[in-house]
Structure 1
Amino acid sequence: MRLWMRIAMVLGLTLAILVPLTMVRGVVQERQDYRRQVVADIARSYAGPQTFAGPVLVVPYQEVVEVEEADRAGIVRTTRKTVSRQWTFFPKTLAVEGGLKPGIRRRNLHEVRVYEWHGSAKAAFEVAIPADPGTERGRRIGQPYLSYAISDVRGLRGPTLQVGQRTLEVEQGRAPGHVGGEGLHALLPPLPPLPPGQLHRVQTELRLVLAGTERFSLVPLGDQNRFSLTSSWPHPSFDGSSPRTRMIDADGFQAGWEIPGVASNAQQRWQSAKGDLAEDAATAIDRVSVSLIDPVDVYSKTDRATKYGLLFVLLTFIGFFIFELTKSLPIHPIQYGLVGLALAMFFLLLLSLSEHFPFGWSYLGAGIACIGLITFYLSAVLRSVMRALGFAAMLSTLYAALYGLLVSEDNALVLGAGLLFVVLAALMVVTRKVDWYQLGSRPNPSPARREPILSEP
């Protein structure tokens, strides 16, 4: 077989191995989808990812306004109507703090991280009720109330609210008469108008326990916001505004935020979205979030590993090809294909084992199984145990390098680039004396008489 035909065969077999590698990646995706379903099922029975916002102080009122309307004859007339409106006041200062107590919920092979937030929200308001515009408008001020938004009130446990020196009862819904499970509200004593320059000062503190799944978020609705979160979970992931202070170690984390209202769009978005915290309605609301992540996500690591599968197969086939050139020992295409399938099988073994055992041990077990099988097979194909051990050493080095890429996410790019450079350098060193023109100008000699064709040093 001429050189170009053998090169085409190697490339064709390499591309053919993409089929089982793609199938393995499909299995990884299916398992990831199944885990997401498990998370959703547990969230439905426990509580979903939580977002806590508030309080805001709302003062409803009614007043008479003049409107122009056309009657049945088309004549425009001015009429008076009573309309309901409200003033919304955001806290001057908002301080939210508490601890996230992590836990694990298990279903089948999957573990889902849950938590209970034992927190408090302290807010200070300065409220100025505008003076009545006149008796002709007949403004009537209703009873003010505090409103808190919670994305999933099923996780709420024992809230207590103190306003000044009084303890008030909290009720379901973000507003009086609101029956949806979107938050809490509490009715306040009436706030009469004050002379110009004077303000109602209201101090509030809500204490509660809020259970949720995997992610917890806070919305900076105050003019000045201070948030503080602690937890014994050692692997947090922060989203939104970065913490001003943070400390993460094996015992957990502590994080603090200081966010001025002018640096956030939360108040404007709250007004436009009417306090809706649903993900599809308020994705643009500024919030700070912390997720309790799993640093050993077997599915993401296995998916990343399969991306290097083609490189493993290609390097192994190139090794076979170089071996044929230098040792005059032909290797049949079926033998290429069986070794390629064994390499692809590594990733399926890794996925299946890592669902039951720690990822490191699963990687070691899958690597030993596949390298051992390939070494046993190549000892017969290459007619030498030492030659097979040489290929085993090469594969072991590649697997060790891949493991380093998987466990070092921050340095994955530089390590991957370095690995590719070393592999290319090794190929160039090994083939630097091959005379490709002479080798491709005539058919390969028979296996019994074939000799490597090298250029003179």
Structure 2
Amino acid sequence: MEQQQQPNKFVKWIKNSSAARMIMIGFLSLILMIPLMYIEGLIHERSYRQKSVVNEIGKQWGNEVVVYGPILKVPYKVFTETIITDKKTKKVTTETIERIKYGYFFPNKLDINSAINPEEKKRGIYTTAVFNSKIDINGSFDSIDFSKLEIKQENILWNKSKVLLKTTNVKGVNSVLSININDKKLGLSSANSNRHQDNGYYTLETDKFSLNELQKNTKSLKFRLDFDVRGSKEVRFIPIGKETTAQITSSWKTAKFMGEFLPFNPDKINDNGFDAKWKILDVNRPFSQQHFNGLPHLNEFDFGVNFKIPVDEYQKSERSAKYGFLVIVLTFLVFFLIQTISKINMHPFQYLMIGLALLMFYTLLVSISEHSNFLKAYAIASISVISLITIYAKNILKSIKFMLLIGVSLTVLYAFIFIIIQLESYALLVGSVGLFLILATVMFVSRKIDWSNS
């Protein structure tokens, strides 16, 4: 008989004890964290898939466009002496070894004008931005000075000079590349097709030409370079001119200016797109106009425009999923308080169904946001889940008053989470204040509950 009474006492304790219900709710909340982690993994997977498709479209159309140049390249001779001792005769001789090195000279004046015509490309449910751009580069080389190296004039190979241009995107170039220097047209061709050996750049060079011939009537070398290129994601330039001016115009309305330098004109954004202007002097960046030990990697000093479509649905979905545990616990807490106050019994299975319904919100949010904007997806998913749980609560709690309380509580909770997701700078402040108000409300509602008899 004693063995038959023990289960009855245990079941009675589970049904009537607030402590037992609290333990059960805590256990279910922890169990529901497992599918919540799977949902977060699903969001990561979909986000990775979206990035893969965007990168694939970019590779086929043309990747980002970064322009580094034009740069004047002048070879010169250096001599080193090596002492050689004959092993048999012990005779000592001196051998002079000649090597060719290169001096690289940046323009004194560099003026860049770029008109960009963007468009959207779709593959399945994913969309990215690509563009056609027309880039005009003008400027001049005014000072070509080897005095720092104390090189004799006869050791400078002026007649083997070249002009080179570095860019990350040659696949998208759709016009014949040439540069006009003092009215002499010189073609540019690929001299280095392996971008991984040159910090991600392709190098385009002219044929050899005589610098002295081009400087017969003037010391200045004026150049002009025009080309059309297709690309995606962004357009960037490196300000190698002693004075660099740039202007980028486009009809794209969601562009983001990026890099070390921002446009100086306050009216850069308009109803038709943007018209951004830059002016950068040599004193604004820490590198010289002449280099004799190879070209430096200067991407950290670039500037330009990003044309990515602002796709943040996955990021917002991921942020909302991080609040999943909070939503589950607070929803269970509302049901627990109603159950304690009204003395209505709820089975653990009913709590489990409510928790699973809350998890369905995130799968609905991710799937709908892939075909619509985040606001609409959030509204549809939250209304669906709130309606489902509210109707379910009506059948459990047998009261219109409690059903409305559940509906209002969930509506406030999901609205609170949505506001936090939209905020960036004030997310922590609003979240802290909101949680404080929720705690105060729970303390106020539960202040008259006699826990000793529960």
> Contact 1:171/1:185 (CA < 8 Å) preserved in 2?
yes
Match of residue 162, structure 1, among 158, 180, 189: 180
RMSD (CA atoms): 3.2
1:182-202 alpha-carbon deviations (Å, 9 max, x no partner): 14223474123999xx98311
> Contact 1:266/1:285 (CA < 8 Å) preserved in 2?
no
Correspondences of 1:145-224 after superposition (within 5 Å): 145-158=162-175, 159-173=177-191, 182-187=202-207, 189-192=209-212, 200-224=219-243
C-alpha separation between the residues in 2 aligned to 1:253 and 1:208? 21
> Contact 1:101/1:116 (CA < 8 Å) preserved in 2?
yes
Give the SS at the match of 2:337: helix
What is the one-letter code of the residue matched to 1:210? Answer: V
Match of residue 103, structure 2, among 80, 83, 87: 87
Does 4-13 or 347-356 show the bigger shift? 4-13
Structure 1 gap segments, 5+ residues each: 276-281, 445-457
C-alpha separation between the residues in 2 aligned to 1:55 and 1:301? 42
**Residue of structure 2 equivalent to 1:274:** 295
Closer/same/farther in 2, CA of residues 424 and 142 from structure 1, 3 Å limit: farther
**Residue of structure 2 equivalent to 1:378:** 393
Closer/same/farther in 2, CA of residues 291 and 78 from structure 1, 3 Å limit: same
Closer/same/farther in 2, CA of residues 271 and 191 from structure 1, 3 Å limit: closer
Closer/same/farther in 2, CA of residues 321 and 156 from structure 1, 3 Å limit: same
> Contact 2:106/2:289 (CA < 8 Å) preserved in 1?
no
Closer/same/farther in 2, CA of residues 227 and 433 from structure 1, 3 Å limit: farther
> Contact 1:90/1:222 (CA < 8 Å) preserved in 2?
yes
C-alpha separation between the residues in 2 aligned to 1:30 and 1:64? 59
**Residue of structure 2 equivalent to 1:49:** 64
**Residue of structure 1 equivalent to 2:325:** 310
Closer/same/farther in 2, CA of residues 37 and 191 from structure 1, 3 Å limit: same
C-alpha separation between the residues in 1 aligned to 2:24 and 2:289? 64
Closer/same/farther in 2, CA of residues 140 and 267 from structure 1, 3 Å limit: closer
Structure 2 gap segments, 5+ residues each: 1-12
**Residue of structure 1 equivalent to 2:277:** 256
C-alpha separation between the residues in 1 aligned to 2:282 and 2:151? 30
Correspondences of 1:19-58 after superposition (within 5 Å): 19-58=34-73
1:356-377 alpha-carbon deviations (Å, 9 max, x no partner): 2232222222122211211121
Give the SS at the match of 1:154: coil
- Residue 404 of structure 1 and its aligned partner are, at CA, apart by 3.0
1:53-85 alpha-carbon deviations (Å, 9 max, x no partner): 111111123354433456667987431122111
**Residue of structure 1 equivalent to 2:32:** 17
> Contact 2:105/2:291 (CA < 8 Å) preserved in 1?
no
C-alpha separation between the residues in 1 aligned to 2:334 and 2:123? 45
What is the one-letter code of the residue matched to 1:171? Answer: S
> Contact 2:72/2:104 (CA < 8 Å) preserved in 1?
yes
> Contact 1:57/1:88 (CA < 8 Å) preserved in 2?
yes
Match of residue 101, structure 1, among 106, 117, 123: 117
C-alpha separation between the residues in 2 aligned to 1:167 and 1:267? 28
- Residue 251 of structure 1 and its aligned partner are, at CA, apart by 3.1
Does 76-85 or 18-27 show the bigger shift? 76-85
Count residues with an aligned counterpart.
427
Closer/same/farther in 2, CA of residues 189 and 52 from structure 1, 3 Å limit: same
Give the SS at the match of 2:71: strand
> Contact 2:259/2:300 (CA < 8 Å) preserved in 1?
no
C-alpha separation between the residues in 1 aligned to 2:238 and 2:152? 38
Match of residue 226, structure 1, among 222, 227, 245: 245
Closer/same/farther in 2, CA of residues 95 and 141 from structure 1, 3 Å limit: closer
> Contact 2:248/2:277 (CA < 8 Å) preserved in 1?
yes
C-alpha separation between the residues in 2 aligned to 1:182 and 1:375? 62
Correspondences of 1:430-445 after superposition (within 5 Å): 430-435=445-450, 439=451, 441-442=452-453, 444=454
> Contact 2:250/2:275 (CA < 8 Å) preserved in 1?
yes
Closer/same/farther in 2, CA of residues 133 and 162 from structure 1, 3 Å limit: closer
Larger helix proportion, structure 1 or 2?
A: 2
> Contact 1:157/1:209 (CA < 8 Å) preserved in 2?
yes
Match of residue 257, structure 2, among 230, 233, 238: 238
Give the alignment's TM-score, normalised by structure 1: 0.83
**Residue of structure 1 equivalent to 2:161:** 144
Closer/same/farther in 2, CA of residues 365 and 133 from structure 1, 3 Å limit: closer
Match of residue 409, structure 2, among 394, 403, 414: 394
Give the SS at the match of 1:127: coil
Q: Does 1:342 align with 2:353?
A: no
Give the alignment's TM-score, normalised by structure 2: 0.84
> Contact 1:232/1:252 (CA < 8 Å) preserved in 2?
yes
Closer/same/farther in 2, CA of residues 49 and 108 from structure 1, 3 Å limit: same
Q: Does 1:328 align with 2:343?
A: yes
C-alpha separation between the residues in 1 aligned to 2:291 and 2:350? 65
- Residue 392 of structure 1 and its aligned partner are, at CA, apart by 1.3
C-alpha separation between the residues in 1 aligned to 2:298 and 2:47? 24
- Residue 138 of structure 1 and its aligned partner are, at CA, apart by 5.4
- Residue 318 of structure 1 and its aligned partner are, at CA, apart by 1.1
Closer/same/farther in 2, CA of residues 71 and 18 from structure 1, 3 Å limit: farther
